[in-house]
Structure 1
Amino acid sequence: MNDDYEPLSARIPADIEQPDKIMYGLTGRQLLILGTTALVTVSIFMAAAPTLPVPIVAGLCFPLVAAGCSMALGRRDGMGLDRFALAALDHVRRRRTLAAAPEGVSAPPAWCRVRATLPGPLRFPIRAIRQDGVMDLGGGAAAAMVRAGTISLGLRTAAEQAALVGFFGRWLNSLESPVQIVVQARPVDLSELTNRVTEAAADLPHPALRRAAEGHAAYLDELGASRNLLMREVLIVLRDQPVPGSPGGRRRGRVREASAAIVARRAIDTVRTLTGFGISAEALDADECVRVLSEAFSPGEARPIPSADLDQPITSRYSAEEALA
């Protein structure tokens, strides 16, 4: 095997959850929408044709046919228009104002006339986070997050690329439960790092070092002002959902502990597997989970990079309060 060897490959759709095609390249949902549209159109045509001219009946049926075909075949942002319409209706029905009331929002007394709509309860999917990073999702379900790095396949030979893809495929085949891989890009603010370098430049012993530090600070300032900097982060979310049921008090606690132990073990196995073929990975603890979740709730907010002191290694950790600040 040499570097010019091209291994056998197979085309896989990017959307692995793409529904199966049933007939004529259409899914079951599309066939159901088109069939319903055709049935309603034929019924209207047969009912109106004896009393109205054919052109008028065709004009009445055309909007219905166009709407049905658009719902079945149209797509917006990678989503079918039928699902998009249902999501829009669900968004319109939901309340805009939410309050932190897990027990529910109490109705006003009878003597109080409320003209506006009462707020709805704000329910978070995560109830608690253990120190080891295992998140309690309620109902005995648990989840854990693993931060993974990336590798460049373009710099590898064909044989190395085939080996890496094979390793990753074997990890995917070994999964026993659903796993979510999240690739997110967040804005980065370099102003804090620039200020730290500028302040430290005055304490450097040699003029050449001071000029180099000031030049580096100017470069960082210009870089942050001229470009929209993004920081990419890859997260792997592992979940464990117990068998549906309503266990009693002690059994509910045992189920919760068992789910937490399972996802913690899966997180360790994931880190070991990814590290085995050259990808840096680490299981997130409670502080890191808090930081990730806080940034997920405010994705548009620019957050500075938490950098270490000049006399500290760049691998030093920071607390959850600093991440939320």
Structure 2
Amino acid sequence: MTWDESIARIPADVEQPDKIIGSFTARQVAIVFGTGAALYAAYTAISDHVPLVACAAVAIPVAVTAILLAVGQRDGISLDRYVLAAIRHQRSPKHLVSSLEDIPMPPTWIAAGSQRPPAPLKLPARGVVGDGLVDLGPDGIAAVAEVSTVSFALRTPDEQDALVAVFGRCLNSLSGPAQILVRAERVDLTETVASLRDNARELPHPALASAALEHADFLQELSARHELLRRQVLLIVREPVIGANGSDVAAARALRRLDEASRVLGSCGLTARLLDARAVAALLASCFDPSAPSLPDDDIALPGEVITTGGTW
């Protein structure tokens, strides 16, 4: 029995669309040939009544536009999808509010002009429930854990093979949807610098105090000259909700899957810490505004909590 040892090229981008004719995908072929067929049908219908020059004056701009939409790109997105996204953005409401109900129209005596009324903001996350679980509504329950990192380059080849084997075993043990998210967030060294200056006064030797103050000055100068970032690795697992008591069952399954993943990752020196409700709320808030500095967990209010101010009356 012989095997055909023909080589099949697999693109690095597994989501890259297949080529149908030459370097054209099915979407590009449909745009170009669909426009050509429509122009030819229109020409055969009106060729006896309209001069050829007039038909060409109308057909050439339409054909050029179709070719540009098919082969052109903007920011890595094809022009046809870019134009459709721009049209949807133009027609969609711009003022959104966090309400699960439809927003009523304003009274007629309010001079609202031509501005559209607010629309409900539809998010995939309904809220943060107990133990830091994220309620995704019909999509189920998600649990989020922060995973530490290890230095792969500093390990020996045998240790690197062991790490790869453990990570592969962790991937093979997945029994449901999971996501590994690596995100960058800003680092604020204000509290670190202040802590170093305060603790330097209590050090037993003047040389240690001087070194601590110099290190505090170095960190302050470093944060002033550079935008400091840190990497955060998150492991998110999701479980669907099935049945009347599906939320409790899905939450238990999600927590059990994270516990199993933490035990497997612990074999290669990684620790997975389940985020509590405040940490998850802070994480979701930072995802809406990644450029803003992160807030302390104590400054994040959970859903249903009463927000008070510390001012004097």
Question: Which bracket does the TM-score occupy, shorter chain normalised?
Answer: 0.7 to 0.9
8 Å Cα contact 2:144/2:236 also seen in 1: yes
The answer to which of 91-100 and 60-69 deviates more is 60-69
Q: Secondary structure at the match of 1:182?
A: strand
Q: Match of 2:170?
A: 171
| Superimposed CA distance per residue, residues 76-127 of structure 1 (whole angstroms, 9 cap, x where no aligned partner) | 3333333322222222222222223222212234555532321112344323
Q: CA deviation at 1:323?
A: 5.7
State whether residues 133 and 143 of structure 2, in contact with CA within 8 Å, keep that contact through their aligned partners in structure 1.
yes
1:199-248 CA deviation, whole Å, 9 max, x = no partner?
A: 332333432122111101110011011111111112222222346xxxxx
| Residues in 1 aligned to 2:163 and 2:37: alpha-carbon distance in whole angstroms | 52
Corresponding residue for 2:233?
234
CA distance in 2, matches of 1:13, 1:156: 30
Normalised to the residue count of structure 2, the TM-score between the two structures is 0.79
For the 8 Å contact 1:72–1:80, the answer to whether it is kept is yes
1:74 is matched with: 72
Equivalent-residue separation in structure 2 for 1:42 and 1:162 (angstroms): 62
For residue 129 of structure 2, what is the amino acid of its counterpart?
R
Q: Deviations over 1:32-84 (max 9, x none)?
A: 22332232233345456553345x64453333333323333333333333332
Which whole-Å CA distance do the structure 2 matches of 1:231 and 1:138 have between them? 31
TM-score (norm 1): 0.76
Amino acid of the structure 2 residue aligned with 1:263:
A
Which letter maps to 1:39?
A
Q: 1:199 to 1:162 in 2, by over 3 A?
A: closer
> Which residue number in structure 2 is paired with residue 34 of structure 1?
32
Task: Say how many residue pairs are matched.
Answer: 293
Partner of 2:124: 125
Partners of 1:148 and 1:77 lie apart in 2 by 32
User: Cα 1:29–1:155, aligned 2, differ >3 Å: closer, same or farther?
Assistant: farther
Q: What is residue 84 of structure 1 aligned with on the other side?
A: 82
CA-based RMSD: 3.1
Q: Give the match for residue 261 of structure 1.
A: 252
Percentage identity across paired residues of the two chains? 39
CA contact (8 A) 1:140 1:256 kept: no
Distance 1:159 1:75 in 2: 45
Long gaps (5+) in structure 2:
1-7, 302-308
1:156, CA displacement in angstroms? Answer: 4.3
Structure 2 counterpart of 1:287: 278
Contact 1:134–1:142 (Cα < 8 Å) also in 2: yes
> Which has the higher mean CA deviation after the structures are superposed, 158-167 or 110-119?
158-167
Distance 1:24 1:162 in 2: 41
Quickly say closer, same or farther: Cα 1:109–1:184, change in 2 above 3 A: same
**CA distance in structure 2 between the partners assigned to 1:210 and 1:182 by the alignment:** 40
| 2:235 partner amino acid | I
Taking structure 1 as reference, are residues 168 and 101 closer, same or farther at Cα in structure 2, changes over 3 Å only?
A: same
Question: Paired residue for 1:321?
Answer: 298
Further displaced range: 25-34 or 206-215: 25-34
Change (3 A) 1:82 1:150: farther
